Every structure is written in C-alpha cells, then in structure tokens.
Structure 1
C-alpha cells in the first residue's frame, strides 16, 4: 500500500499521469493500475476524472496529506536506521547530581549535541548517592557527580577541581577591596544555599571555623536566582567557580573575588560509568565527548 501511496502522491504533485509515470520510471498503464488499486483498497474515489484531467476529491486531499506524513515518517526511520548501522549514538541516559546540574551540564550537552545532532539525551537528576546507585544498577548509562567515589564495578574519572568564590555586584564596596579575608564576611548581607545541601554544610563549617557570622538575607538552591538577586538586594554569595563563566559575570554586572580560606571548599567533579565494558555506543560516545570537554589540554 505504501508504494501505491507514493505513486498517488507523485500524480498529485505532477498534476499528470504522464509526467508522474516518467518520474517513477513506470509505464502510464502501470501507474493507472496502482491508483485504481489504491482506490479499490480504500473504497473511495481519489480523483474526479475529466478526460485526461484529474482533480482531487475531498477524500483525495485527505489521502494526499496522509501520504506526505507517511513519506516523512519513513524518511526519518531510514535516517535513524542508517545512523544506527553506522554506529552513531541514538539514546543515552545521563545522571547528574543536583550540584552539578547548573555548572557542568550546559557545556557538555552543547558539545555532545553539536557532535551528534541525531542523538537523544535523557537526563535524570538527584543526589550524589542516588546517581551512583542509578549508574550501578544500569538505570543511567553515565553519571556526573560532584565528588569522588570508590564503588565496586564503577569507573570514576576526575574531570576538574572546583571551589567556592565570593560573588558581588561590580559596584559593591567589597569589589574595590585589594585583599579580602573571611572577616569581611562577618555581618555581610548574603544569599546562601538552602540548609541540607553540600554547599551549605561546607560554608557553615567554614564560617564556624573562621568565626564568621554573616547576615543571611535569603536561602536559595538555584544558582541562576542567586545571580539575578545579587545586584537587587546588594548582597554577596558564595558560588562554584565552574559556574562563573565570563559571559555570566559580565552580562550580570558581577565580579568574582578570591578569599584564601575558600580554597578549603574544593571538591572534585567526576565522571562515572560501569567498568565492565558493556557500554552502548551512545554511552561510549558521551564518555568520549565528556573527556574531550573537560580533560582536553590537560597535561
């Protein structure tokens, strides 16, 4: 039936049995039989016939729309099948801990989809231990987590080191200070991460060790929300260095400031996947792109 639909569509598009038969490399009688066979199967007339002139019936127009949809679906299927045969990735599931979602994934996803535009990427998010379990159990092909783990059956590859930086609006008084210490954060209006997060536990521990008592104005999990609010409420925040891309700082009128003690907040973001060698083609490609994005140029 699909061949007959293609023949029917060709007749409609060429407005002529003669021209359509040449395009399809069929004799005109053979093409006429295909059209008649299709009409017989559907039980309707697709054309009004006025001598050699053909005019689509109402159901003929509906059938032509259906024929085009089938042609497009078949084309997509054959393209996907071809890429599958060529070894290009199709579907891969990536798990990311919540703390890496806003820092690591944007450049990685952009690089992967640029290299494999036909691929499908499914994202699962959760806490670090949940992502480790998901990869171990095969629910995720690849995981990106903000810590190093030693889990039987998993490979853990360090991608980069990260640490917190003090971020303020460019017109904030601290932006002009030549040298900052943790003492500058005492009674400083700040936006902190919500309680229970790794970042909040880390900053609270650091504040306690350094005897710092900040003026907490807000507690938010979203990096983007914090960045947008900083100039508005004239506050400061501690954000991961990996998130503070130049275009983000410049576009938001923000500056990133170094404090020596913040080096104690360093943590390692890692790539994890099953080390048994059972990775799909899609997963292997994602691993390769991840290493290219974060490890290329490293000595």
Structure 2
C-alpha cells in the first residue's frame, strides 16, 4: 500500500496518468490498476475523473499530504543511513563530565556500539562548563553533563533526574536500626568523591544544609574504587542512583538505604549541542538515539518492581 501511495503523489504532481506512467516507466493501464487497487484497499475514492482530467477528492488530498510526509521521512532515513555507509567507520566525539563518564556513558556506549558495530565513539572529559565550551567550539559533536547550560548558543535537552543514595556494606552496624535519617550521617565514617564535580558539590551542600559532619576517611575520584573500599573501611558513601546497578551491589555485598531528604535533592543530566545547522546528519541521528535511549531507561526504572 505504501508504494501505491507514493505512486499517487507522482500522478498528482504530473497532473495525468499518462505523464506519471512515463515518469515511472510503467504502462498507463498498469498505473491505473495500481491506483484502483489503492482505492479498494482504502475503501474510498481518491480521484474524481472529469473527462481526461483527474481531480483529488478530499480523501485524495489527505492521502497526497501523507504521501509527501512519507517521501520526506524516506529521504531523511536514507540520509541518516548513508552516514553509516562510508568506507571509514563513523566517529562520534562525546564530551562528558567526569561523573557522567562513570555513571551515564558506559550504558549508552554499549547500546550504541551494539546497534552500530562500525561506530567509533570517543569521549572527552571535563567540568560541565568546559564541555559547554567544547560544544560551542565544535570540538565535540555533543555533550552530556549533569546540569543544564545557560547559554543561548548551546541547546540543552534534559535526559533524566538523578539523586544521591546512601550505600553501606551489608554488615555495617548502622543497618541494625529500623529507619535511617540524615542525622545518622553525622560522624558516620564515609568515603567521598574528590572535590570539583557536581556530585561532590551536591554532597557538601546537603551536609551544610543539615548541619552534618561525617567522618571523611578518603576522597577518591573513582566510583569503582569507592565501591571496592567500602567493606574494607567499614564506611558508607553517597552515590548517584544512575550508577547503582543491582549486579554492582551484589558483587560488592553492598546495601542501598533510601533516605527521604536525599531523594528530594535532584540533579538533571542534560544533552547539549551547538547550532543545529552545524550538525552532520549522523550526529543528529545519534542525538535522537541518545534521547530515546534515556527515555526508554526512564520508563524501565519507573516500571513496577524495578
């Protein structure tokens, strides 16, 4: 049916079956049969035949408009597809803040490379404002940062909200209490991320807001190292929810504690890119796929039992 709808557009644009048949390199009777078949399948007349002239019915006009949209989408599809057909493997350079690199990027890169095996992804890290500068200077195709960017020359698209969660070894003494609050973090031995990221800034702001002074044993710039050291140091930590995968917690015998005040403090991770006119077709396609990836992940996390 879709192919017949595209044929209808050619008939309309050439004003006659004969001219359209010549353009399509088919016979006029064959084209007439295709249009008649389309009308039967749709169950409605698409043309009024006035002598030798064809005139669209209202339903025919609607079908023609759909045919134009179909043509446009087909063209965009081919353009995007061609971006992945070059002899050289397509390369995408993504700018990411350090926290984002550890929490958000691994899953995205895995999904992208599974779908596009020839795609080569490069990552450049920096603070959020540094990534915004790289986007403006076109040194990266797009960026993923744990904040929005207030800059008219940069487009910022929210991807998801992240919160901090208390993570403890399963054998930690504090878990003997039935319910924990922010006050329980006071004097609690903790391993924290090194200063300088949104994550550590958000952590320090929460401590100040609630007048807390945890016993900071270590400051490390690697989530993986923090996770591995928690049991050995009998310490807790605050980690972004986006990083806490079930297998990670199970492998390291860790337990996540939900604290209401922590869940109220959110940070939005956003995708940022420059002037859309600068973007290659392949980059626009990857941006759309990135947005769709996080939308799917958000729906999965909101599903019952997740």
What range is the shorter-chain TM-score in? 0.5 to 0.7
Task: Give, in angstroms, the shift of residue 98 of structure 1.
Answer: 1.1
Partner-residue secondary structure (3-state), 1:277: helix
1:175 and 1:255 in contact (8 A); partners too: no
2:169 maps to what in 1? 169
Alignment partner of 1:289: what SS?
helix
> What corresponds to 2:203 in structure 1?
203
Q: Secondary structure at the match of 1:164?
A: strand
Moved more, 218-227 or 279-288: 279-288
SS of the equivalent of 1:283 reads: helix
> Cα 1:86–1:172, aligned 2, differ >3 Å: closer, same or farther?
same
Separation of aligned partners in 2, 1:181 and 1:84: 51
Displacement of 1:201 after TM fit? Answer: 2.5
The answer to whether the 8 A contact 1:192-1:219 is kept is: yes
**Residue 269 of structure 2 corresponds to which residue in structure 1?**
269
| Cα separation, 2, equivalents of 1:238 and 1:297 | 22
Q: Retained in 1: the 8 A contact 2:127–2:197?
A: no
Tell me the secondary structure at the aligned position of residue 102 of structure 1: helix
The answer on whether the counterparts of 1:90 and 1:118 sit within 8 Å (CA) in structure 2 is yes
CA distances 1:22-75 after superposition (whole Å, capped 9, x unpaired) = xxxxxxxxxxxxxxxxxxxxxxxxxxxxxxxxxxxxxxxxxxxxxxxxxxxxxx
Residues 142-176 of structure 1 deviation map (CA, whole Å, 9 limit, x = unaligned): 10000011322322111110011000011112334
Equivalent in the alignment of 1:86: 82
Q: Which residue of 2 aligns with 1:102?
A: 102
**Residues of 1 paired with 2:285 and 2:116: CA distance?**
9
Q: Distance in 1 between matches of 2:174 and 2:228?
A: 18
Distance 1:87 1:208, change over 3 A: closer
Deviates more, 1:161-170 or 1:209-218: 209-218
Number of aligned residues: 217
Cα 1:238/1:284, change in 2 over 3 Å: same
**Equivalent residue for 2:145?**
145
Matched residue of 2:286: which SS?
A: helix
Deviations 1:73-114 (A, max 9, x none): xxxxxxxxxx99833171111100112010000110001111
Q: CA RMSD in A?
A: 2.0
**Is 1:287 matched up with 2:283?**
no
Residue in 1 that maps onto 2:111: 111
Map Cα deviations across residues 241-283 of structure 1 (whole Å, 9 max, x no partner). Answer: 1000111111111111111221343100001112433311331
2:80·2:281 contact (CA, 8 Å) conserved in 1?
Answer: no
Residues 198-253 of structure 1: per-residue CA shift (max 9 Å, x gap): 32232222212212111111111110000000011100000101000111111111
What residue is the counterpart of 2:154 in the other structure?
154
Q: Runs in 1 of length 4+ with deviation above 6 angstroms?
A: none
Report what 1:190 is aligned to: 190
The structural deviation recorded for 1:197 is: 3.1
Shift of 1:298: 5.9
* Structure having the higher Rg: 1
Provide the TM-score with structure 2 as the length reference: 0.67
In the alignment, is the contact (CA less than 8 A) between 2:160 and 2:298 conserved in 1?
Answer: no
